[in-house]
Amino acid sequence: MMSEILDPTSTPRPRALDWLRVGTGIAAVLGILLAATGVQVGEGEAVVVTRFGDPVRLLNVAGLHWKAPWPIDAVARVDLRRRTFETGHAEMLTRDRKNVVLVGFAVWRVSDPLRFYQSIGTVEDAEEKLDGLISNAQIGVLGRFDLSALTSTDPTTLRTEEIEAQLVEATRTVASERYGIEILTVGFQRLSLPEDNVSAVFKQMRAERRQYAARYEAEGAEEAARIRSETDLEAARIRAEGSEESARILGDSEAEAARIYAEAHRKDPDLYRFVRSLEALDSVVGDETTVILRTDSPPFRLLTSEGN
């Protein structure tokens, strides 16, 4: 053995290889420690740190955090992003005693990760709880509305937004206080009617159509009457203005004629009387009129030498 150790032909082990092995071992140990004690929190999530099964710390800031190694500490991750789920089919009774089959939906997110972890823990269990909570709220809220508030040809009777807002209010407090869940939206995805209600709904829709037609006819008749009334008033106004203008023109003409007569009488009274006598004679004697008068009676005296 001594000869093997002292053999000058033997090659010594490289020291670099030893350091590489040591470094690899240290890195492996550090990796194991990091995996056992480090907690990476991502965006949109929170981490509940438990010690021997009891929650001791909540990590809700993205980044690297530290904990005691397993089995002392363990972690439970909670997704904080918004989630949407569809409720099951549920048959409800409206205020006017009509059955409807609804499929709803809800948009929710975890608002209190610690409460969520302690009360539910998983998304599947959370949606099961929410399904029952929303179904109970639908029974209470829809019982305060008629069927026409859910389905109608008249937009003024639809109240779906109001119903959905009431559903959110009816479920929000319970979901938050019990489960650490914030309910953002509750709505209706599908609505159907049992067979015995279909004919009643069609009858209601036909009645609404008739009401629409009657209302439109009444509005049309009212508008036609208004237009006729305005037309009659405008025609009467135009006729009145025409009569007024005609009377004004006639008055102006008569005034002008009187002025001309007066001016003629002032300038030549004899000529004026002569012309007026001719006008009087023309108005009295027609084409086939025979009048017997004395020659000295006016206006015939104009025909005698005495009247010249």
Residues 134 and 87: beta-carbon distance below 8 Å: yes
Same domain, 111 and 172: yes
Which tokens belong to 79? 């997704």
Same domain, 108 and 171: yes
Rounded percentage of the chain residues whose pLDDT exceeds 70: 74
Identify the band that residue 3 occupies on the pLDDT scale cut at 50, 70 and 90. very low
Radius of gyration of the chain measured on its C-alpha atoms: 55
Q: In a 10 Å sphere around its CB, with 0-12 CB exposed, 13-18 middle and 19+ buried, how is residue 183 labelled?
A: buried
Q: What is the pLDDT of residues 86-132, one digit of tens each?
A: 988 888 888 988 888 889 999 999 999 999 999 998 999 999 999 99
In a 3-state reduction of DSSP, which class is residue 79? strand
Lowest mean pLDDT among 26-30, 108-112, 141-145, 174-178: 26-30
185: pLDDT strictly greater than 90: yes
- Phi-psi region at 158: left, alpha or beta (left = phi > 0; alpha = psi -120 to 50): beta
* Within-domain flag for 132: yes
> Tokens 């020291």 appear where?
15
Q: What is the pLDDT of residues 273-298, one digit of tens each?
A: 777 777 776 666 666 667 666 666 66
13: pLDDT strictly greater than 50: yes
If you count DSSP H runs as helices and E runs as strands, how many of each does the chain have, helices first?
7, 9
* Within-domain flag for 217: no
Last residue of a domain, one of 17, 52, 79: 79
Same domain, 48 and 119: no
For the chain, how many residues are written?
308
* Within-domain flag for 74: yes
Residue spans of beta strands (DSSP E) within 164-224: 181-192
Same domain, 183 and 108: yes
**Could you say which DSSP state residue 63 is in?**
E
H or E element that contains 65: strand 63-66
Split into its structural domains, the chain has a count of 3
Averaged pLDDT for residues 223-245: 85
Same domain, 74 and 91: no
The domain containing residue 99 runs over which residues? 83-193
Identify the band that residue 202 occupies on the pLDDT scale cut at 50, 70 and 90. low
User: Cα separation of 216 and 221, whole Å?
Assistant: 9
Same domain, 33 and 118: no
74: pLDDT strictly greater than 50: yes
pLDDT of residue 5: 46
Q: Residue 24 to residues 13, 15, 28, 30, 198: CA-CA distances in angstroms? A: 18, 14, 6, 10, 76
239: pLDDT strictly greater than 80: yes
Enumerate the H helices of 45-159 as residue ranges.
Answer: 113-119, 123-142
H or E element that contains 51: strand 45-51
pLDDT of residue 297: 64
Q: 118 phi and psi, to 5 degrees?
A: -75, -30
